[in-house]
Amino acid sequence: MAVNQMRSFLKWAGGKYKIINRIQQALPNGRQLIEHFAGSGIVFFNVDFEEYLVADTIADLIHLYKQVQVQGNNFALYASALFTPENNTEVAFYDLRAKFNACTDLARKSALFVYLNRHCFNGLCRYCSKGQFNVPFVRYTKPTFSSVEMLNFHDKSKRAVFEVADIKVIMEKAEIGSVVYCDLPYALLTTMANFCSYTKDGFTLNDKQALADCAKKLIGRDIPVVISNHKTESTQSLYSKAKIISFEVFIQRISIFQPNFLYTREFVCN
Ligand SMILES: C[S@@+](CC[C@H](N)C(=O)[O-])C[C@H]1O[C@@H](n2cnc3c(N)ncnc32)[C@H](O)[C@@H]1O
């Protein structure tokens, strides 16, 4: 299962680059990986399956992945043109952020998404209640555009399908040979962790319960499901029937938490 570790071309809150080895070890073999909550795509990028179904509820993210998949190098050149010293200023950032929020052209919007990701605070992706991207500018010395990672992603995406969909819809697509991995938005342990509210609707306890119910059904059909999240009382009780692998992770700029690896392969059906 383990392959070389590759970085993503996006920064992402809760990105799993530093613990990718743990995830590689926990994922069983299978024909197809179904990854909801894909974020920066680091798990998709660093595991080896014949096929992938990669999903997230952030439509702008999935549209970007489709642009990279279809256009490859042309898109990389197009997006990289936004990475100029003139665009690394507060004025240019807020102008481009407004253009992104008003944009309806998918290629342009996707290129702007990459620009915002590398010029905004900590690469966060957060939308206000009206659905507008609202993360503020931070002046990094030299924001990086990762064309190598983008082109590697393009190559790998030939075996992938990208979808914006609700988790239930995605999980219903699982069949024998599928392995499901869900990296849930973290529980809010501190005020700073509010940044983990990626979408305007957030991810509620009811959503977590619904996901746990879906996971149980899949386990009952012999389809393995692996879920990662913080170790809290509520997650422990939600996944009390799961095999749980716990370890500590330092989350940069937020705090030291004890997130858990909740491994539901051995979920027992009620
Ligand atoms: C912890 S991050 C995933 C990080 C990813 N594994 C990585 O390594 O970059 C959680 C993801 O859940 C997605 N998400 C947030 N709220 C959601 C919701 N209500 N339904 C589905 N996905 C959601 C976010 O877009 C985010 O990409």
Residue 146 has pLDDT above 70, yes or no: yes
Alpha carbon distances (Å) from 262 to 148, 177, 229, 234, 258: 32, 21, 7, 12, 12
**Pocket lining: 35 vs ligand 1, CB cutoff 6 Å:** no
User: Structure pTM?
Assistant: 0.89
Q: Dihedral of CA 93/99/102/108: which sign?
A: negative
Q: Whose CA is nearest to atom 27 of ligand 1?
A: 39
User: What average pLDDT does range 220-231 have in this prediction?
Assistant: 86
% of the chain at pLDDT higher than 70: 84
What H or E segment, with its residue span, contains residue 169?
helix 167-171
The predicted pLDDT at position 13 comes to: 87
Indicate the pLDDT class of residue 1, thresholds 50, 70 and 90.
very low
Residue at 93: amino acid letter? F
Asked which of 2-16, 188-202, 247-261 is least confident by mean pLDDT, the reply is: 247-261
Residue 250 has pLDDT above 80, yes or no: no
Residues 124 and 160: beta-carbon distance below 8 Å = no
Dist CA 268 CA 270 (whole Å): 6
C-beta neighbour count of 90 within 10 angstroms? 12
Through-space distance between the first and last CA atoms of the chain, rounded to whole angstroms: 31
Dist CA 65 CA 209 (whole Å): 29
| Among 41, 44, 88, CA closest to 61 | 41
What H or E segment, with its residue span, contains residue 53?
strand 51-56
**Pocket lining: 185 vs ligand 1, CB cutoff 6 Å:** yes
Ligand 1 centroid from CA 41, angstroms: 10
pLDDT tens-digit series, residues 114-138: 999 999 999 999 999 899 999 999 9
Q: Whose CA is nearest to atom 15 of ligand 1?
A: 198
Dist CA 9 CA 145 (whole Å): 7
User: What average pLDDT does range 2-26 have in this prediction?
Assistant: 85
Dist CA 154 CA 69 (whole Å): 5
Residue at 130: amino acid letter? K
Residue located via tokens 């529980």? 187
Which CATH superfamily groups domain 17-57+165-263?
Vaccinia Virus protein VP39 (3.40.50.150)
Answer whether CATH 1.10.1020.10 is correct for domain 66-148.
Answer: yes
**Pocket lining: 117 vs ligand 1, CB cutoff 6 Å:** no
pLDDT tens-digit series, residues 28-66: 999 999 999 999 999 999 999 999 999 999 999 999 999
Please state the domain extents for the chain: 17-57+165-263, 66-148
For the CA of 35, the closest atom of ligand 1 is: 6
**Pocket lining: 137 vs ligand 1, CB cutoff 6 Å:** no
Dist CA 20 CA 26 (whole Å): 10
- For the CA atoms of 133, 110, 39, 71, what is the dihedral angle to 10 degrees? 180
Angle of helix 90-102 relative to helix 106-119, nearest 10 degrees? 150
